[in-house]
Structure 1
C-alpha cells in the first residue's frame, strides 16, 4: 500500500491554524489516532478498562467489528478471515484517518504480520508484540509472566507472527478454566460477577510468582483483563503491561503535541 496522499501530522492550535491542509481522498471523519478491531459477535459486560469501552481512554479511539469473525476463528488463527481483517483495518486508515491499528484480542496477533504488510501506518495487532520490548528492559535471567484467556492457542505460530523470537523466558498462566472470568469472556455467558472475576485473575497472577520467582513483569494477553491491571500490580508489585499500555504508546507516538510551560 502506498502512503496516502494528503495525510499530515501536526497538532493544530490557535498559533498555527492558518496552515494549508489537504484532505485524504474519501476520508469522511478525523481526529482518531488509533483504530481498534474487535470480534463481531460477543456477549459479556465490557467494564471500564476493557479495550472496547470508550471510557478507558483519555483520547478518542475508533472501533470497528470484523465481519464474520468469532472467538473460535480468531483463537485458531483461521486464514480465511485474514482478508476481512485487512479490509476493516484499511477502511479505518483510508476512510477515517486513523494513524495506527490495534485490536481487542491478543489472538489477533495471528494476523499481525499480514496487516502490517498491508498498511502504511504502525500496526500492533496483539498485546504480545510488547514482549521483545519488555525482554529488553528486564535482566537477562528474568522472565515475563503471561496471563492468557486460552493457553492452548498460545502457539509457536502466534509468537512468530507477533515478532517474538525468544520464548524460553515466558511463563504462561491459563485462565480458561476459571469459573467466573472464562465463563463471561470466553464462553460469553452474557453476565459476570466482576468482583469474583477480578479475584480469580489476581489469584492466578500471584500463583505465577509462586511458580517462578524470577518473573520480572506481567503481561496480560487478553483485552478483557486490563480492568484488573492495577489490582494485579498491587498484588505482585511488578510492572504490568497490557493492551492499554500498548494503545497509549501508539497514541502518543502518532499524536504528539508541542510542549509549553515556564522555564
Structure 2
C-alpha cells in the first residue's frame, strides 16, 4: 500500500498519519441540541474537510465551570488522537475553552486555536479611534476576566450574553433539538442589541459561543457592525495551515 507524504511536521521531518487531506480537527463538547448550518459543529458549514472528536463527559453545563481544569486531560487526549490521526491544527466547539488555550497549545505538536475570543485583541486594533470590541457570549455571568486574559484580551472588554431564561440557553443545556431557527435568531439579535445599547463605544462584536455563528450575518444586517466568530477564526486558521497556492505567471 502506498501513501502520500503529507505535510512536514513542525520542526522538520514527516508525520505518520491514518488519514490525509483533513487540515482542521475539531474537539466537540458532548451535546445533542440542533446545530444549524453555520455552527462549527455542522460539517456543512465548511468548504474544506474537517474531522470531529467528541470529548465524552464534557457536557454543556461543564463549559461554564472550567476553572478547576478537571476536564483538561480529556481535551488533551482528544487533541492528541486527532493529531495522531492526521489533522494539522486543532480548534473546539466552545469559546469558554479559551481557559485551556495555553495548556493545550503547550503540549501540542500542531497549532491550536481553542476559542473565537483569540480574535478580540486583533479586532480591537483594527477599529477606528474611540471604538472597541464587545463580546457576545452564551452566558455573560460565566465569562470572566480569566477567559479574556488567557487569550491576551483586555479583561475590561464589555460583555453581553443570552439571558438564563432564553430558549437558546435552555435548549443547549437540555439537548433539545426542537427549537426553531427563528426563535434562536430573535433571541440572539435581542442580546446583541442590548450589548450595543449598553456601550455605544463598541465598534465590532466577537461572538464567544460557537452556536451564535449562524446568526452573525443577521447581526451585521440589523446593526451595521462587523461580527467575528468561530467561523471567521477557523477560516483564518485554515488559511495559514493551507495557504492558497498561486500559479506562477
State which structure, 1 or 2, has the greater radius of gyration over its C-alpha atoms: 1
Q: Among residues 90, 102, 112, which one is paired with 2:101 in the alignment?
A: 112
Name the CA distance, whole Å, in 2 between partners of 1:67 and 1:196: 29
2:32 aligned with 1:24: no
Displacement of 1:184 in angstroms is 1.5
Name the CA distance, whole Å, in 1 between partners of 2:142 and 2:215: 22
* TM-score for the superposition, normalised by structure 1: 0.85
Displacement of 1:213 in angstroms is 1.6
Q: Check the 8 A contact 1:149/1:186 in 2, yes or no.
A: no
Displacement of 1:236 in angstroms is 1.3
The residue aligned with 1:99 is: 88
Gaps of 5+ in 1: 1-5, 10-21
**Residues 159-170 of structure 1 aligned to structure 2 (within 5 Å):** 159-164=148-153, 166-168=154-156, 170=157
- In structure 2, relative to structure 1, the CA distance for the partners of 1:253 and 1:103 (3 Å cut) is same
Q: Check the 8 A contact 2:96/2:115 in 1, yes or no.
A: yes
Q: Among residues 55, 80, 85, which one is paired with 1:66 in the alignment?
A: 55
The residue aligned with 1:231 is: 218
The SS at the match of 1:251 is helix
2:244 aligned with 1:253: no
Gaps of 5+ in 2: none
Q: Among residues 112, 122, 128, which one is paired with 1:133 in the alignment?
A: 122
Q: Deviations over 1:128-175 (max 9, x none)?
A: 1111111111235212121111112211222222232x232x221120
2:164 aligned with 1:173: no
The residue aligned with 1:202 is: 189
Name the CA distance, whole Å, in 1 between partners of 2:129 and 2:113: 25
- In structure 2, relative to structure 1, the CA distance for the partners of 1:159 and 1:47 (3 Å cut) is same
Displacement of 1:211 in angstroms is 1.8
Q: Check the 8 A contact 1:7/1:24 in 2, yes or no.
A: yes
The SS at the match of 2:112 is coil
The residue aligned with 2:176 is: 189
Name the CA distance, whole Å, in 1 between partners of 2:24 and 2:148: 23
The residue aligned with 1:82 is: 72
Q: Check the 8 A contact 1:176/1:186 in 2, yes or no.
A: no
The residue aligned with 2:231 is: 244
Displacement of 1:215 in angstroms is 0.8
Name the CA distance, whole Å, in 1 between partners of 2:100 and 2:245: 34
The SS at the match of 2:64 is helix
